[in-house]
Structure 1
Amino acid sequence: MKKILSVCAVFFTFLNLSFSQGILTASSFFKSVSENYAAIKDYEADVDIKAGNSFMKGKVSYKNPNLLRIDFSSPEEQVICFNGDLLTIYLPESAAILNQTVDNSNNTGANLATSQGLALLSRYYSPAYETGQNAVPLEEGSEEMVVNLILRRRNMSEAFSTIKLSILQSNMLIRRIEATTPQGETFTFDFRNYVLNKGISDQRFIYDPPTSANNYNNFLFSE
């Protein structure tokens, strides 16, 4: 579970994305995605996360440039919150609070929860169209049409060998992220029911976990 949640923290940092039409190359497409989504002030969306036989469901709140919160309905009461300085994950089943302080010298997934996050992703991964620029069904039988980008790592040190981004044709938002490790593990993030620019308060990203839970600091570097 800790591994899955760490991956969640990494990938939600890549959500300052958007889309524009008329792009001919995958690199230009990816650059435009980054530039346009940065204009979104905030959003909320439903999210489903799958890793192997593990499944999680919740609502994600994001505020530009680097505020993030996920409130889970499954597992119930589980929370991921990043306030710009501190990443906090509350695990109710374990009565545990995982904390990770973020600074410029700390090159972790949480550190990518900034306006520079996608630029870093672009630096370490090379984008390509999966089947071309034209939209295709999200999956067999689906009426949702997406443009698929495949990002391949530039060097062997990156945690994921490929990252697939599926961009909805209808509203130009990310519908699905599929990240695959060199060992063949796949983490899938499905996003639905986006609400953009609703004026989310900074207070939304202040989280006080239960005082009865045990604290574990700098968990990203712990065994």
Structure 2
Amino acid sequence: MKKIFVLMVLIFTCFSGFSVYAQGILTAAAFFQNVSAEYGKIEDYEADVSIKTAKKVMEGHVNFKRPNLLRIDFTKPDNQVICFNGDLLTIYLPESAAILNQTVESSGTGSAASLATAQGLSLMSRYYSVAYESGQEAVPLEDGSTENVVKLVLSRRNTSEAFRYINLAILPESKLIRRIEAITPQNEKFQFDFSNYSINQGISDQRFIYDPPTSANNYNNFLFTEQ
């Protein structure tokens, strides 16, 4: 569960991929490329984020800066932080007084770092097929919602991928991602909702320097440690 959650965090922050802007008939794949082209113009963004699983709801504020800087400051759970500075992933869990650190190699297409790049998104396009969930017209985000989105379904092409499906809800005018739903082979669902975007505000690299409390216990390279 923990490894899948961290994997998804790295994925959702970095939809900054493709340089090709599709022309002609707006197939689902072409629409996805259009969305990727818009994200390719983004140097940084911040937004409110909600993360839901079957057992937990988390809320916070996310900051992202290209190529792979990420910070999420949570209000639920209060004071929890996830920070990735390009080399080190740090997760502070105040309820456990624990700091989880993971060094990420900068080379190698199979490393976790490759997910936090444009190349990582390109690999997703290679290994997942893209289709409209209900056509190219915008539909309500969910039952009873007045917010309309274009819904895409990414289906894995082989069983080695971590998620069986990735559902995307796209704001039709801005082409920003409103919601991500990732479903594992065990039918576990991870839902990420984004709102109140601020784009290209010139976020400083200093924002991604995080000094966790010295009183907390450190656990290094936790992704490769069996708990």
Counterpart secondary structure, 1:195: strand
* Residues 169-188 of structure 1: pairs in structure 2 closer than 5 A: 169-188=172-191
Distance change in 2, residues 1:55/1:131 (3 Å):
same
Q: Does the C-alpha gap of structure 1 residues 110 and 52 become closer, same or farther in structure 2, counting only changes over 3 Å?
A: farther
Name the SS for the 1:107 alignment partner.
coil
**2:131 pairs with one of 128, 131, 137:** 128
Deviation at 1:173, TM superposition (A): 0.8
What is the aligned partner in structure 1 of residue 219 from structure 2? 216
2:146 counterpart SS class: coil
CA RMSD of aligned residues (A): 2.2
Partner residue, 1:159: 162
| Deviations 1:163-221 (CA, angstroms, capped at 9, x unpaired) | 00000124221100000011111110010100111110000011111122122122222
Q: Which moved more, 1:21-30 or 1:170-179?
A: 21-30
Describe the superposition over 1:44-95 as per-residue Cα deviations: whole angstroms up to 9, x where unpaired: 1000000002010000001111111000001111111111111111111111
| 69-78 vs 136-145, which moves further | 136-145
Larger deviation: 129-138 or 22-31? Answer: 22-31
The TM-score normalised by the length of structure 2 is 0.90
1:64 and 2:57 are equivalent in the alignment: no
- State the shift of 1:13 in Å: 3.5
In the alignment, is the contact (CA less than 8 A) between 1:125 and 1:153 conserved in 2?
yes
Counterpart in the other structure of 2:81: 79
Rounded to whole Å, the distance in 2 between the matches of 1:119 and 1:217 is 30
The SS at the match of 2:118 is coil
Counting aligned pairs with the same residue, the percent is 66
Q: Distance in 2 between matches of 1:143 and 1:40?
A: 27
Superposition map of 1:1-223 within 5 A? 2-3=2-3, 5-16=5-16, 24-103=26-105, 104-105=107-108, 107-223=110-226
Query: What is the CA–CA distance in structure 1 between the aligned matches of 2:147 and 2:122, rounded to whole Å?
Result: 28
- Cα distance in 1 for residues equivalent to 2:96 and 2:39: 36
In structure 2, the gaps of 5 or more residues are: none
Aligned counterparts of 1:57 and 1:165: Cα–Cα separation in 2: 19
User: Would the aligned equivalents of 1:97 and 1:209 in 2 still touch at CA under 8 Å?
Assistant: yes
Residues 49, 109 of structure 1: CA spacing in aligned structure 2 closer, same or farther, 3 A cutoff? farther
TM-score by length of 1: 0.91
Q: After superposition, what is the alpha-carbon deviation per residue over 1:116-161, rounded to whole angstroms, capped at 9, x for unaligned?
A: 2211211221111111111111011211111111001111111110
Any runs of at least 4 consecutive aligned residues in structure 1 with deviations exceeding 6 A, and if so which? 17-22
Which region of structure 1 is more displaced relative to structure 2, 85-94 or 96-105? 96-105
Residue 129 of structure 2 contacts residue 157 of structure 2 at CA under 8 Å; is this kept in 1?
A: yes
Partner secondary structure for residue 212 of structure 1? coil
Unaligned runs of 5+ residues in structure 1 are: none
